[in-house]
Amino acid sequence: MPNPVKHAKFDDYLDSSEFYNDPYPVYHLLRDEAPIYWSELWNAWVLTRYADVLAVVRDPGRFSNGMRVPVYLDQLPPLERGRFRMLEDHFAVQIPHSDPTYHTRLRTLITKAFTTRMVEALQGRIQELVDELLEGVEEKGRMDVIWDFAFPLPAVVIGEILGMPAEDIEQYKAWSSNIMGFLGVTPPDPNYIADAQQSIAELKEYVRSQIDLRRRRPQADLLSQLVEVEEQGDRLNEEEIFAIVAVLMSAGHETTTNTIGNGLVALLRHPAMLARLRQEPDLVESAVEEILRYDGTTQRHMRVATENVVLGDHQIGKHQLVFAMVGAANRDPCQFPYPDRFDITRGNIRHVTFGHGIHFCVGAPLARLETRIAINTILRRLPRLELETEELEWHQHIGLRGLKSLPVRF
């Protein structure tokens, strides 16, 4: 990366392939020289200090989740903008894209079905799936961690939780990649948005047929519980059930896939930490939290200012986009001593990868459990694990950090 200068063209860095491969040098540069930065490229304020990121994500009154998709789409020409009303309506009823009091209602209802007890009861099944996936590749002596292991594991788990047929797993992946992908492109690209809208339409028809089945014959799965769940006479309507299912099917495996992949890369590139975890598998809980901090899959929380807000020496204008860069906050030396050091024994890891406050990720306990079991089992069963290449290819997505593939041998 070029040496920083007082008037560095930060957008050039944000638009570079080097940024997607390793964003952390750019985050450090921005935090040092322009921690509250207006990006013409992204048409948004870019925040890279831990304190600023935390201030934004814990203040839903002044920084809205519900407005972010409409404001993002407003960057399109008017004729293009009108094409995507269905996509906008879909996101309007999603938990991650809503504000109180509507968000409060949705979260209250889903947490009655998606309980901590339910997640804890999955430990044995997750272990079983991990063992099955590794048995399928052990004799080969190599695997692509992403496609042979880290994608199918959480995809099968969330599919079984919801009660979706296992044979449709590849279709879930295609739909969720399109739905999550469009917000990773800035400025907005009508082609990506059209693909997302088409996937939403197809997924909606698929889920609607599954909802109809549950209404006729309830089953022991989360989808049946979502159909039945009630709080003080209030029920989820069909659009809300669909939106919840879409979030769980997308975020429920995309984030865990990337966390497992990013975590194994970090461990393999830090052999002392890898050896320590092999010797002391009880450190896995701390190791997973350090993975989430050091190279977490969530790199950005997007918000919209609901009013003019003074932050530091800058005024953020009403209806302007704000990118709270989680990946940068998690490497802020004011919060984490030696932030670029990967240390699985690091204590008090108060990262913001799963968000904060009312928008803290509902699926965080499941993601943590899957990752802990996956990593410890891989290290136990594959003692000669090593990267096949250092030339790894990362997805070009500004919000989610993950590998396209991760070839290893053992």
Quick: pLDDT tens for 271-286: 999 999 999 999 999 9
Phi-psi region at 250: left, alpha or beta (left = phi > 0; alpha = psi -120 to 50): alpha
CA distances from 139 to 142, 209, 268, 410 (A): 8, 40, 21, 10
The string of DSSP letters for 288-349 reads: HHHHHHHH-SB--EEEEESS-EEETTEEEPTT-EEEE-HHHHTT-TTTSSSTTS--TT----
pTM for this entry: 0.92
Q: How sure is the predictor about 180, in pLDDT bands with cuts at 50, 70 and 90?
A: confident
Q: Report the SS3 class of residue 75.
A: coil
Q: Read off the amino acid at residue 304.
A: V
CB 387 within 8 A of CB 268: yes
Residues 99, 117: Cα–Cα separation, whole Å: 27
From start to end of 22-122, where are the E strands? 36-39, 44-47, 63-64
The yes-or-no verdict on residue 310 having pLDDT over 80 is yes
Residues 310, 332: Cα–Cα separation, whole Å: 21
The yes-or-no verdict on residue 360 having pLDDT over 50 is yes
Cβ-based neighbour number of residue 407 at 10 Å:
17
CATH for 10-409, options being 1.10.357.10, 1.50.40.10, 1.10.630.10, 3.30.530.20: 1.10.630.10
The yes-or-no verdict on residue 344 having pLDDT over 90 is yes
- The pLDDT, as a whole number, for residue 7 is 42
CA distances from 242 to 118, 166, 218, 255, 263 (A): 21, 19, 16, 20, 31
Cβ-based neighbour number of residue 285 at 10 Å:
13
Q: For residues 348-355, give the mean pLDDT.
A: 93
Model confidence pLDDT, tens digit, residues 4-36: 334 448 999 999 999 999 999 999 999 999 999
Residues 8, 119: Cα–Cα separation, whole Å: 47
If you average pLDDT over every residue of the chain, what do you get?
Answer: 92
Model confidence pLDDT, tens digit, residues 43-64: 999 999 999 999 999 999 999 9
Identity of the highest mean pLDDT range in 89-93, 186-190, 339-343: 339-343
Residues 159, 222: Cα–Cα separation, whole Å: 10
Domain positions in the chain are 10-409
The yes-or-no verdict on residue 3 having pLDDT over 80 is no
How far does Cα 196 stand from its chain's mean position? 17
To the nearest whole percent, how much of the chain has pLDDT over 90?
73
Tokens describing residue 361? 């990720």
The string of DSSP letters for 191-231 reads: HHHHHHHHHHHHHHHHHHHHHHHHHHS--SSHHHHHHH-EE
Classify strands 142-144 and 230-231 as parallel, antiparallel or unpaired: unpaired
Q: How sure is the predictor about 232, in pLDDT bands with cuts at 50, 70 and 90?
A: low
Please, what's the b/e burial string for 140-173 (b: 16 or more CB within 10 A of its CB; e: otherwise)?
Answer: eeebbbbebbbbbbbbbbbbbbbbbeeeebeebb
| Dihedral angle computed from the Cα positions of residues 65, 69, 71 and 77, in that order, rounded to the nearest 10 degrees | 180
Cβ-based neighbour number of residue 376 at 10 Å:
21
Cβ-based neighbour number of residue 57 at 10 Å:
24
Q: Out of 38-47, 100-109, 213-222, 326-335, which region has the weakest mean confidence (pLDDT)? A: 100-109
118 CB burial (10 A radius; 0-12, 13-18, 19+): middle
The string of DSSP letters for 311-324 reads: ETTEEEPTT-EEEE
Q: Report the SS3 class of residue 61.
A: coil
The yes-or-no verdict on residue 343 having pLDDT over 70 is yes
- The pLDDT, as a whole number, for residue 97 is 87
Model confidence pLDDT, tens digit, residues 190-204: 999 999 999 999 999
- The pLDDT, as a whole number, for residue 23 is 97
- The pLDDT, as a whole number, for residue 231 is 57
The yes-or-no verdict on residue 128 having pLDDT over 70 is yes
Q: For residues 373-394, give the mean pLDDT.
A: 97
Phi-psi region at 141: left, alpha or beta (left = phi > 0; alpha = psi -120 to 50): left
Q: How sure is the predictor about 226, in pLDDT bands with cuts at 50, 70 and 90?
A: confident
To the nearest whole percent, how much of the chain has pLDDT over 70?
97
Q: For residues 340-350, give the mean pLDDT.
A: 95
Residues 179, 203: Cα–Cα separation, whole Å: 10
Residues 151, 155: Cα–Cα separation, whole Å: 6
The yes-or-no verdict on residue 174 having pLDDT over 60 is yes
